[in-house]
Amino acid sequence: MTSPEIASLSWGQMKVKGCSTTYKDCKVWPGGSRTWDWRETGTNHSPGVQPADLEEVVKKGVKTLVIGRGMSEALQVPLSTVEYLKKNGIDVVVLQTEKAVAEYNSLVAQGVKVGGVFHSTC
């Protein structure tokens, strides 16, 4: 199963190829995507992305996980979150969201089993 390509990104809006939903923030993995609702885990810009935000994507068996920190990189990614991914044998890429989407789509095109979490505003 392949990861879906991110079809478009603009401030506050993301489209995933093959999905009719427009996301503000989203999670993607091989074979699927859904809204990334920060309220589920109590996530805020600081301290930022928590392992609980990533568990669902990790359980899909990804080899690489791309984190988009927002258009202005306001979303933090603590070292503990990076260590959680590495402990699970997952390569992690943390970038500004436009760069993160480009990297994610490049990995999809290469056939990598990649997942991502992307913040599309600040």
Report yes or no on 35 lying in a domain: yes
**pLDDT of 29:** 98
Report yes or no on 40 lying in a domain: yes
Mean pLDDT of 101-122: 98
Sequence-ordered list of residues with C-beta below 8 angstroms from that of 51, at least 6 positions apart, any chain = 80, 81, 84
CATH classification of the domain holding 77: 3.40.1230.10
Instruction: Give the structural domain span for 84.
Output: 6-118
The answer for 63, left when phi > 0, alpha when psi is -120 to 50, beta otherwise, is alpha
Domain count, the chain: 1
pLDDT-based confidence at residue 3 (cuts at 50, 70, 90): very high
Mean pLDDT of 96-115: 98
Tell me the per-residue pLDDT of 14-70, one tens digit each, with 9 for 90 and over: 999 999 999 999 999 999 999 999 999 999 999 999 999 999 999 999 999 999 999
Q: How far apart are CA 105 and CA 103, in angstroms?
A: 6
Six-digit token string for 9: 């990104």
Report yes or no on 30 lying in a domain: yes
Question: How far does CA 106 lie from the centroid of its chain?
Answer: 14
Report yes or no on 1 lying in a domain: no
Report yes or no on 87 lying in a domain: yes
